[in-house]
A and B are shown apart, each in its own frame.
Chain A
Amino acid sequence: MNLRMKRNLIVVYALLIFFAFIYVLPFWTSFTTSLKSKRDIIYTIPIELPSSPTLDAFGEAFEAMKIPLLNSIIFTSLATVFSTVIGSLNGYILSKIRFKHSDVVFIFFTIGIFIPYQSVLIPLIMTMSKLGLYNNVLGLALTHTIYGIPVCTLFFRNFYEDLPDSIIMAAKVDGAGDWSIYKRIVLPLSAPSFVVAGVFQFTSIWNDFLFGVTLARGSEALPASVALANLKGTTTAFWNIQMAGAWLYALPVLVVFLLLGKYLVKGYLAGAVKG
């Protein structure tokens, strides 16, 4: 590569590192705090390193969060998979199969994204209770799947709008039905959208607090987000345990990011359009 490109590359890397620094800066305090003893919390300010680092906080946090982490992994994965798949199906219907009132249905779903969870808590609990799904990991999975349908439908519908109709037309001319087209052509091309929707869903559901704290009790179905908040006492403040817990809590999400990121590969559409 020529000199100008090399110089541009250096500038780009410099910018990336600068921004990375800014993004990571707020985490510095959580890092230092998670290694502090309770005494250090009182005697040092957040930016300072601990005087005597200890991993005790991590141990205590893990004890408290073992089961909730498992709970969250289960219902978050379930709800993410189901809501993204349903979103993909709906998005396909609304953009490619289309029928007279597609746009109305689309508005119907899109407005549904905006519902504030505080306003549905009471009817939701009543409904879940009647269905026997209250305080239950599957109940949480179902709830999050349903409330995730509108946004996933939005993602996929937009994504499929960008897919050239020509591919679909070509297959139709060959006599293929809507759903065989979906299986053979559209679905394989949907990886980037699954990544985008999947990351969003996994993160939102993992981080949800309101539904978790009202639909679960005791520790059987307790989500990790609530367990993390519970590390914060009301009359005692153990910042070190909270921060250690926060790192444990963020771990699964980061793993998901790393795994899904692999699917963001260039040129998925290249093959399809070439022919």
Chain B
Amino acid sequence: MSETKPKSEKRSWLIWVLVVIVVAVVTGVGVWYVTRPPPPANVLEIYHWWTSGGEKAAIDALVAVFEKEYPDVAVIQSPVAGGAGYVMKSVMKSLVMSGEAPDAFQLHAGYEMKPYVDAGYLEPIDDLWKSEGWESVIPPVVRDMVNWGGHYYAVPVNIHRANVLWYNKKILDKYGIDPATLNTWDGFFAACDKLKAAGINYPIAMGGQGKWEIAHALEQIFASEGIEFYQDLVNGKIDDPNNPKLVDALNTFKKYLNYVNPDYAALTWDQAVAKVIRGEAAFTIMGDWANGEFFVANMTFGVDYGAMPVPGTQGMYGLVIDTFEHPKGVKHPENSIRWLKVVGSKEGQDAFNPIKGSISARTDADMSKYGPYQRSAMQDFKNAKYMYPSIVHGSGAPEVFAAKFNDIASEFATTKDVSAAAKAIVDAISAAKSEYTKVWKLY
């Protein structure tokens, strides 16, 4: 062993030296890092899920309005990505329960706020609503979505529409389909048949990788059964699997699926929209954040593509609303209130929404700042007969139900079994019975 001893000793020295160097350097950097000067005390920390592209630009614009108004406050943004805040929801729950809530965080209006309100993590902001006069500029259903037990807990920052049918106008023109005929399901399916006969095998594009895309389409079909039915659904009043409207809606969806691309489960919503843009499909049902995709593809609204309410939902506005609220016991409560003021202000909303692609939650918005699709959406919003909260996007139904709804929709798309799906929905509602604490009044 004496010949190899120097060799292994040299190796062992080498390893020791390396380890010591690495640890020293890294620890040194770490210590320097931790002993840096503390961050400024006058801070506003906000959490949201608008992490990239147009949405990031939008929140930056809103923050800019805040910073102009309150220049001595340092704003720290903590964006957490993950489709429609799925990741952020879990992060936020953990943070809030551990006492680390940020000064303000983004939530969907409606049931998504319920766990926080129930547990007392949010402060009521009725005074703020009064002093800012929001009740007069924000429609009733929207107000109801941020109101629990008679108190306001949040401020809506935008309105997205869920029940939008997007179409490739050039294709419709080519085959002589008038969008006005698409107001009913019969008319819509007739148009699909026409397209199919002309060689477009799957006229409807749909995503499905996250499952919610499927549930999203199904939800609008439920809405097309009438506002009374939808209200019963979100109030947890559907208890009969043979409910005629429930069964009819599922059968409509079954027919709908016949025209949908078979690879939907591998596509994200934007890839489905891309199919419409490329002309492989003519239609897709998606919330109006889809508008951004057409915009980036340099398509002109009304010329290359168009949007209309989902068949059967004329005069109805499906609401997907983001809000900010005032958590309890946060580190900078005054800044938190200041932030909410800016969020709810006309200036703030008109800075944020044109970039985001949604519309202002206020009926007094400055239309000139918005693009063509948004202007038409704002008209519809002003003149909407009924508004309804989206289930899929965290508002209409308790989370326990919403989570199951995605699975049920995805399972139905696979099996097309109407009675099984109807039963599953009824079961899911009854399992969540105790959670239905809000009584929606939509008509």
Q: Give A271 to B9 CA distance when docked, in angstroms.
A: 12
Chain A hits for B78, CB < 8 A: 217-218
Contact with A along B69-100 (1 / 0, CB 8 A): 00000001111111111010011001101111
Within 8 Å by CB of B22, from A81, A214, A229, lies: A81
Question: A52: CB under 8 A from chain B?
Answer: no
Chain A hits for B19, CB < 8 A: 81, 85
28 example contacts (A-B, Cβ-Cβ < 8 A) are as follows A41-B274, A43-B297, A75-B30, A77-B26, A122-B94, A125-B95, A126-B99, A137-B30, A137-B34, A187-B12, A188-B9, A188-B12, A191-B15, A214-B95, A218-B45, A226-B80, A229-B87, A230-B52, A230-B80, A231-B81, A232-B51, A232-B82, A234-B81, A234-B82, A236-B53, A236-B270, A238-B53, A272-B8
Q: Identify 11 new A-B residue pairs, CB closer than 8 A, beyond the known A125-B94, A217-B78.
A: A41-B274, A77-B22, A122-B94, A122-B97, A218-B77, A218-B78, A230-B52, A233-B55, A235-B292, A236-B270, A272-B1
Number of A residues with CB within 8 Å of any CB on chain B: 50
Asked if A235 and B26 make an inter-chain contact with CB atoms under 8 angstroms apart, the answer reads no
Chain A hits for B7, CB < 8 A: 271
Question: A246: CB under 8 A from chain B?
Answer: no
Within 8 Å by CB of B26, from A74, A226, A234, A272, lies: A74
In this complex, the member of A136, A187, A214, A271 whose beta carbon has the largest number of chain B beta carbons within 10 angstroms is A214
Contact with A along B45-70 (1 / 0, CB 8 A): 10101111111100000000000000
Point out residues on B near A: beta carbons under 8 Å.
1-2, 4, 7-9, 11-12, 15, 19, 22-23, 26-27, 29-30, 33-34, 39, 45, 47, 49-56, 76-85, 87, 90-91, 94-95, 97-100, 102, 268, 270-271, 274, 277-278, 289, 292-293, 296-298, 356-357
In the complex, the chain A residue whose C-beta lies closest to that of B27 is A78
Chain B hits for A77, CB < 8 A: 22, 26
In the A-B complex, the 7 residue pairs with the smallest Cβ-Cβ separation, listed nearest first, are: A275-B1, A233-B52, A236-B53, A188-B12, A271-B4, A235-B289, A125-B98
- Minimum Cβ distance to chain B for residue A76 (Å): 10
Question: A248: CB under 8 A from chain B?
Answer: no
Asked if A234 and B33 make an inter-chain contact with CB atoms under 8 angstroms apart, the answer reads no
Q: Give A216 to B290 CA distance when docked, in angstroms.
A: 31
Asked if B270 and A237 make an inter-chain contact with CB atoms under 8 angstroms apart, the answer reads yes
Within 8 Å by CB of B53, from A39, A42, A233, lies: A233
Known contacts A39-B298, A235-B54; decide if A188 and B80 are in contact (CB<8 Å): no
Chain B hits for A232, CB < 8 A: 51-52, 81-82
Chain B hits for A85, CB < 8 A: 19
Point out residues on A near B: beta carbons under 8 Å.
38-39, 41-43, 74-75, 77-78, 81-82, 85, 121-122, 125-126, 129, 134, 136-138, 141, 183-184, 187-189, 191, 194, 213-214, 217-218, 220, 226, 229-238, 241, 271-272, 274-275
Asked if B83 and A234 make an inter-chain contact with CB atoms under 8 angstroms apart, the answer reads yes
Within 8 Å by CB of B1, from A39, A43, A81, A274, lies: A274
Within 8 Å by CB of B12, from A81, A121, A122, A184, lies: A184
Asked if B4 and A137 make an inter-chain contact with CB atoms under 8 angstroms apart, the answer reads no
Asked if A230 and B30 make an inter-chain contact with CB atoms under 8 angstroms apart, the answer reads no
Asked if A233 and B91 make an inter-chain contact with CB atoms under 8 angstroms apart, the answer reads no
Within 8 Å by CB of B50, from A121, A189, A220, A234, lies: A234
In the complex, the chain A residue whose C-beta lies closest to that of B57 is A236
In the complex, the chain A residue whose C-beta lies closest to that of B294 is A42
Q: Give A237 to B274 CA distance when docked, in angstroms.
A: 11
Chain A hits for B4, CB < 8 A: 271-272, 274-275
Chain B hits for A43, CB < 8 A: 274, 277-278, 297
Q: Give A87 to B224 CA distance when docked, in angstroms.
A: 61
Known contacts A125-B98, A213-B80; decide if A74 and B29 are in contact (CB<8 Å): yes
Total A-B Cβ pairs within 8 A:
156
Known contacts A42-B293, A78-B26, A81-B19; decide if A275 and B100 are in contact (CB<8 Å): no
Asked if B296 and A230 make an inter-chain contact with CB atoms under 8 angstroms apart, the answer reads no
In this complex, the member of B78, B84, B98, B278 whose beta carbon has the largest number of chain A beta carbons within 10 angstroms is B98
Chain A hits for B56, CB < 8 A: 233
Asked if A234 and B84 make an inter-chain contact with CB atoms under 8 angstroms apart, the answer reads yes
Chain B hits for A137, CB < 8 A: 30, 33-34
Asked if B274 and A236 make an inter-chain contact with CB atoms under 8 angstroms apart, the answer reads no
- Minimum Cβ distance to chain B for residue A82 (Å): 8
Asked if A42 and B274 make an inter-chain contact with CB atoms under 8 angstroms apart, the answer reads yes
Asked if A233 and B95 make an inter-chain contact with CB atoms under 8 angstroms apart, the answer reads no
Q: Give A272 to B2 CA distance when docked, in angstroms.
A: 10
Chain B hits for A237, CB < 8 A: 268, 270-271, 293
Asked if A214 and B268 make an inter-chain contact with CB atoms under 8 angstroms apart, the answer reads no
In the complex, the chain B residue whose C-beta lies closest to that of A216 is B78
Asked if A129 and B80 make an inter-chain contact with CB atoms under 8 angstroms apart, the answer reads no
Q: Give A28 to B83 CA distance when docked, in angstroms.
A: 25
Q: Give A74 to B28 CA distance when docked, in angstroms.
A: 10
Chain B hits for A138, CB < 8 A: 30, 33-34
Within 8 Å by CB of B357, from A41, A188, A235, A238, lies: A235
- Minimum Cβ distance to chain B for residue A32 (Å): 16
In the complex, the chain A residue whose C-beta lies closest to that of B269 is A237
Q: Give A273 to B49 CA distance when docked, in angstroms.
A: 59
Known contacts A122-B94, A233-B50; decide if A217 and B8 are in contact (CB<8 Å): no
In the complex, the chain B residue whose C-beta lies closest to that of A183 is B12
In the complex, the chain A residue whose C-beta lies closest to that of B10 is A188
In the complex, the chain B residue whose C-beta lies closest to that of A221 is B33
Asked if B79 and A230 make an inter-chain contact with CB atoms under 8 angstroms apart, the answer reads yes
Chain B hits for A218, CB < 8 A: 45, 76-78
Asked if A217 and B45 make an inter-chain contact with CB atoms under 8 angstroms apart, the answer reads yes
Asked if B297 and A213 make an inter-chain contact with CB atoms under 8 angstroms apart, the answer reads no
Chain A hits for B53, CB < 8 A: 233, 235-236, 238
Within 8 Å by CB of A229, from B29, B81, B90, B268, lies: B81
Chain B hits for A38, CB < 8 A: 296
- Minimum Cβ distance to chain B for residue A84 (Å): 9
